[in-house]
Structures are given as C-alpha cells and as structure tokens.
C-alpha cells in the first residue's frame, strides 16, 4: 500500500462535475496528512482535455469507446484494475448518481472498506460523515488498507480543486469491455417548465412540512404577492404535487436567488447542496434541530400554517402602501 489519494473524476456530456473539484480539494487535505500524492483518474473517450484544470500531482487517463458515457459496469471494470494495481491509501468517489454506483460495488468486489457521505477530514486524518439527513456527524479513523470513500459537497471548495497549469497526464490500459450487462440507450432531456428556477431571484420553496397538495396554495399566494416562484424539495415532487421542473436539489436544479424562503424543508444534504448559491436563505420549520437552520441567515420555528397566510397579507399591504 502507498499513501497516495486517488480521485475518480466525474463528468457528464463533456462537462466535468463540480464534485470532481471538491474531491480534488479534499484529496489535497488528506494527502498532506498521509504524505502521498493526489492522483486524479479520468475515464472517457476523446475526453483527455477535461483534466486540464485538475489540481492533481498526476492524472491517469483511460480511453475507450465504451467509456464515452458513464455506465456503472464499465467504470467498475476499469477502476477495479486501477485500484488493484496501485493500492493507494484512499480512493475518493462522489456521493452521487455516478460515484456511488461504482464505489459501493467495488468495496464488495475488492473486499475493501467503504466510508460513505464523508464531508471532511480532520487535521489528524479522521473522516467526518454526514448522516441522518444532515442532523448528525460521525467521526472515525480511516480503515485499512485501501479505503473507498464517497464525498458529499459542503466543506471543500470547487476553486481549490482547480489548477491553472495542466498536470502530467498518462494513459492507462483498459480491460475488455464487451458484452456488457448494463447499456446506456439514450439520454432524456430535463422537462422544461414554464420558468427556469435557476434564474429566479425570489424563490418560495416548500418541503414535506406542507403536508398535502391542498396547502400548496399558501406558498403560491405568498409567491404571487412577492413576485416569486414556488419550488420544492424532493418529497413534494415525488408526490406529484409540483412538476420536476420545480425541483431544487441533487436530481433537480441548483438555484441562486436573492432570497430562498424554505418553508417546511428540513435541509437534507441533497437539498442543501443546491441552494448554497442563494444570497439569503430564510427558513420556516417547527423543528428547531432542522439542519436548514445551519445554513439559513434567518429562521423561525413558527407554524407555517399560521405564519405564511399572515406574511402574505403583510406583503400585500406593504406593496399596496
């Protein structure tokens, strides 16, 4: 085993995902403690230039037509060989739709320990995982020998994972990738709604706390009074109460409004990662321990069903005056 930290970069349709840079930034912190190098791994087809701004000591590039787009099985086969032949101290994956499909399976296949949802590393090299919807953190020593880690955003900055000069990129071998059991057929484009929520300056967002579809009108009235739009966290969209085009979160859109008013939203990590670009977050949630209050600038534990109608009235009055 060596002390290097490997980062499995993610990209989708010719775009490097931000989590790749977050992981590179995390890897530098960890490599300082282990004394190893930061090695970025990139899989793709005609994708070498995607690694040009990776802040890494070295980039390993695997090229193959079957790697042009992500599929879990092809990635697993390539990375299995990479990890087996290099035995690094840690291998970082994104805690994402791409990363977890590969990381979790490789832990079992290679019989290597796995720590998921790691948000940061402490100065003495311990992991800190974010669990229970962001309500708890769990800390511990990194297991031996090579540990597979999935990283959640929040602690490390995208900018510190970027470099102005390209690192040395070396090509690595690719095992046979024929007769695959997992095959990508095509992409289905996001549903385009009446508004692009990523560009809206005033967002009234509702979560599970809204309780049922009939109550959405409360948020709609406030949005109308303020001149904003209604968005939602995952549970509301999964219930079919609002269209996917209004989903804020990991599988939906990231937003950056002047004000994000979170109503009945607990602030699970999947939601929080998409609202950190907001200028001001205001949260209304009866649970004082809701993680949304760790992010919001202003908050109240008042009952939304009492507060929101009154707030709407007062906004109307203020606009009328």
Q: Is 150 in the site for another protein (CB under 8 A)?
A: yes
The nearer residue to another protein, 35 or 196, going by C-beta atoms, is 196
By CB under 8 A, the residues from 272 to 311 that bind another protein are 279-280, 282-283, 287, 289, 291, 293-303, 306-307, 310-311
Sign for the pseudo-dihedral over CA of 259, 263, 269, 274:
negative
Whole-number Å distance between alpha carbons of 241 and 258:
25
Q: Which of 124, 178, 189, 194 binds another protein (CB under 8 A)?
A: 189
Whole-number Å distance between alpha carbons of 10 and 100:
11
Judge contact between 162 and 21, C-beta under 8 A.
Answer: yes
Q: Is 319 in the site for another protein (CB under 8 A)?
A: yes
Q: How many residues make contact with another protein (CB under 8 A)?
A: 103
The nearer residue to another protein, 171 or 289, going by C-beta atoms, is 289
Q: Is 212 in the site for another protein (CB under 8 A)?
A: no
Q: Which of 85, 187, 212, 214 binds another protein (CB under 8 A)?
A: 187
Q: Which of 8, 115, 152, 231 binds another protein (CB under 8 A)?
A: 115
The distance in angstroms from the start CA to the end CA of the chain is 71
By CB under 8 A, the residues from 52 to 91 that bind another protein are 69, 71-73
CA-nearest of 275, 145, 111 to 207 is 275
Q: Which of 4, 101, 200, 221 binds another protein (CB under 8 A)?
A: 101
Whole-number Å distance between alpha carbons of 285 and 321:
29
The nearer residue to another protein, 78 or 268, going by C-beta atoms, is 268
Q: Which of 31, 250, 271, 272 binds another protein (CB under 8 A)?
A: 250
The nearer residue to another protein, 15 or 85, going by C-beta atoms, is 15
Angle between helices 304-320 and 216-226 (to 10 degrees): 20
The nearer residue to another protein, 87 or 213, going by C-beta atoms, is 213
**Residue 318 CB neighbours (<10 A):** 10
Q: Which of 35, 145, 175, 190 binds another protein (CB under 8 A)?
A: 190
- Return the bridge partners of 39, or none: 6, 58
The nearer residue to another protein, 59 or 273, going by C-beta atoms, is 273
By CB under 8 A, the residues from 155 to 184 that bind another protein are 181-184
Residue 214's contacts (CB-CB under 8 Å, 6 or more residues apart) are none
Q: Is 186 in the site for another protein (CB under 8 A)?
A: yes
Whole-number Å distance between alpha carbons of 22 and 118:
12
The nearer residue to another protein, 109 or 162, going by C-beta atoms, is 109
Whole-number Å distance between alpha carbons of 60 and 168:
9
Q: Which of 135, 158, 160, 177 binds another protein (CB under 8 A)?
A: 135
Q: Is 152 in the site for another protein (CB under 8 A)?
A: no
Return the H-helix or E-strand segment holding 23.
Answer: helix 18-34
């Amino acid at each position: 085993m060596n002390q290097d930290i490997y980062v499995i970069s993610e990209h989708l349709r010719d775009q490097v995902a931000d989590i790749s840079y977050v992981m590179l930034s995390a890897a530098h912190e960890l490599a300082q403690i282990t004394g190893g190098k930061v090695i970025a791994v990139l899989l793709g087809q005609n994708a070498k230039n995607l690694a040009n701004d990776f802040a890494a000591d070295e980039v390993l590039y695997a090229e193959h037509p079957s790697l042009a787009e992500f599929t879990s099985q092809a990635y697993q086969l390539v990375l299995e060989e990479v990890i087996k032949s290099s035995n690094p101290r840690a291998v970082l994956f994104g805690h994402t739709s791409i990363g977890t499909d590969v990381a979790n399976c490789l832990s079992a296949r290679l019989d290597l320990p796995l720590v998921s949802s790691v948000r940061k590393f402490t100065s003495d090299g311990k992991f800190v995982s974010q669990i229970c919807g962001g309500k708890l953190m769990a800390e511990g020593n990194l297991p031996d020998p090579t540990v597979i880690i999935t990283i959640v955003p929040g602690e490390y900055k995208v900018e510190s994972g970027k470099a102005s000069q390209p690192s040395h990129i070396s090509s690595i071998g690719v095992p046979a990738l024929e007769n695959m059991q997992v095959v990508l057929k095509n992409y289905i484009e996001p549903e385009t709604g009446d508004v692009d929520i990523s560009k809206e300056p005033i967002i009234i967002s509702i979560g599970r706390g809204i309780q049922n579809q009939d109550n959405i009108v409360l948020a709609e009235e406030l949005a109308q009074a303020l001149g904003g739009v209604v968005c939602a966290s995952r549970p509301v969209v999964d219930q079919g109460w609002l269209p996917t085009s209004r989903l804020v979160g990991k599988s939906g859109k990231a937003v950056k409004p002047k004000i994000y008013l979170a109503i009945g939203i607990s602030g699970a990590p999947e939601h929080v990662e998409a609202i950190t670009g907001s200028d001001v977050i205001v949260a209304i949630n009866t649970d004082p321990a809701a993680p949304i209050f760790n992010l919001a600038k202003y908050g109240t534990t008042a009952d939304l069903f009492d507060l929101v109608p009154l707030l709407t009235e007062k906004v109307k009055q203020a606009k009328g005056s």
